[in-house]
């Protein structure tokens, strides 16, 4: 920038130049936006002007890292043979209990004369079995 050929205190008669006012910077909206950007930058929330491709690649990378962490956790959580056998036995017991409950429900839903007929057959078979044994 060129230096003026006069000294500051030399001539009082000269008109001192004033800095022009920028209408954009003096607007209220611009001041609010500038203040908000400064606050966000201090907090570390600066706006990200990344291209869409870069965002997608970062998202994929994050998902891969998360997937790898989950696989590691599952590897650490592998069950021992004893735990697997215990789980199988527990499932078998639960299935047997469900079957017994179904049988009981069926018996409760059957009519009374069918139950009596079954009881008569049992007593008849028991009586026949005792005669053969003696």
Mean pLDDT, the chain, rounded, equals 82
Q: What is the pLDDT of residues 82-115, one digit of tens each?
A: 888 998 999 999 999 999 999 888 877 777 777 7
- Give the span between the Cα atoms of 12 and 22, in whole angstroms: 27
- pTM, rounded to two decimals: 0.30
pLDDT of amino acid 47: 65
- Give the span between the Cα atoms of 89 and 81, in whole angstroms: 12
pLDDT of amino acid 131: 63
Give the confidence band of 18 by pLDDT, cuts at 50, 70, 90.
confident
Q: What is the pLDDT of residues 42-88, one digit of tens each?
A: 887 766 677 788 888 999 999 999 999 998 888 777 777 888 899 89
If we measure between CA atoms, which residue out of 41, 22, 43 comes closest to residue 31? 22
The token pair at 85 is: 């056998």
The yes-or-no verdict on residue 40 having pLDDT over 60 is yes
């Amino acid at each position: 920038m060129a230096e003026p050929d006069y000294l500051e205190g030399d001539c009082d008669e000269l008109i001192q130049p004033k800095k022009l006012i920028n209408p954009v910077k003096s607007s209220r909206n611009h001041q609010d936006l500038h203040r908000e950007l400064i606050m966000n930058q201090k907090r570390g929330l600066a706006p990200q002007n990344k291209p869409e491709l870069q965002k997608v690649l970062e998202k994929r990378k994050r998902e891969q890292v998360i997937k790898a962490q989950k696989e590691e956790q599952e590897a650490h959580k592998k069950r021992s043979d004893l735990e697997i056998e215990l789980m199988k036995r527990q499932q078998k017991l639960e299935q047997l209990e469900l079957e017994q409950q179904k049988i009981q429900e069926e018996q409760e839903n059957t009519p009374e004369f069918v139950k009596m007929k079954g009881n008569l057959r049992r007593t008849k078979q028991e009586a026949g079995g005792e005669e053969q044994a003696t």
